[in-house]
């Protein structure tokens, strides 16, 4: 039986996507609140059966918006809360595939 796990666009070495079949059965069947303290790419958090409305909304934003728009929004939020935080180098991702294209 093939599972239809959601693959995170935040992929990194150490991500748990490939072992979700082994990891997810270790959790209780019913979870009201799930806190993924060290979320990393969020592969476990996005696929756990719990109330994850905020996390799902976050992934929808990544999937449905241009990466430059998302990065600019993140940069603006950092400025809003930490105006003295060092600026990241300005990157142009216009030639990279959009996250929503990778998830389709």
Pair 51, 18 in one domain: yes
Pair 12, 42 in one domain: yes
| Domain encompassing residue 23 | 1-64
* Per-residue pLDDT, 61: 79
- pTM as predicted: 0.49
Pair 55, 85 in one domain: no
Pair 21, 38 in one domain: yes
- CA atoms 51, 53, 56, 58: torsion sign: negative
pLDDT digits (tens, 9 = 90+) for 67-88: 888 888 888 887 887 777 666 6
Residuewise pLDDT in 10s, the chain (104 residues): 567 888 887 777 888 889 999 999 998 888 877 777 777 888 888 888 887 666 677 777 778 888 888 888 888 887 887 777 666 666 665 555 555 555 55
Pair 34, 77 in one domain: no
Pair 74, 57 in one domain: no
Quick one: which H or E segment has residue 53? Answer: helix 53-64
Q: What is the DSSP letter of 5?
A: P
Pair 7, 46 in one domain: yes
CB distance 50 to 32 below 8 Å:
yes
Number of domains forming the structure of the chain: 2
């Amino acid at each position: 039986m093939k599972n239809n796990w959601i693959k995170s666009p935040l992929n990194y070495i150490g991500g748990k996507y490939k072992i979700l079949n082994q990891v997810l059965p270790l959790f209780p069947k019913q979870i009201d609140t799930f806190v993924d303290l060290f979320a990393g790419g969020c592969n476990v958090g996005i696929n756990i059966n719990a109330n994850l409305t905020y996390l799902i909304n976050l992934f929808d934003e990544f999937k449905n918006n241009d990466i430059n728009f998302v990065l600019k929004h993140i940069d603006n939020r950092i400025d809003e809360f930490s105006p003295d935080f060092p600026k990241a180098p300005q990157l142009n991702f216009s030639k990279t595939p959009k996250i929503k294209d990778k998830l389709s």
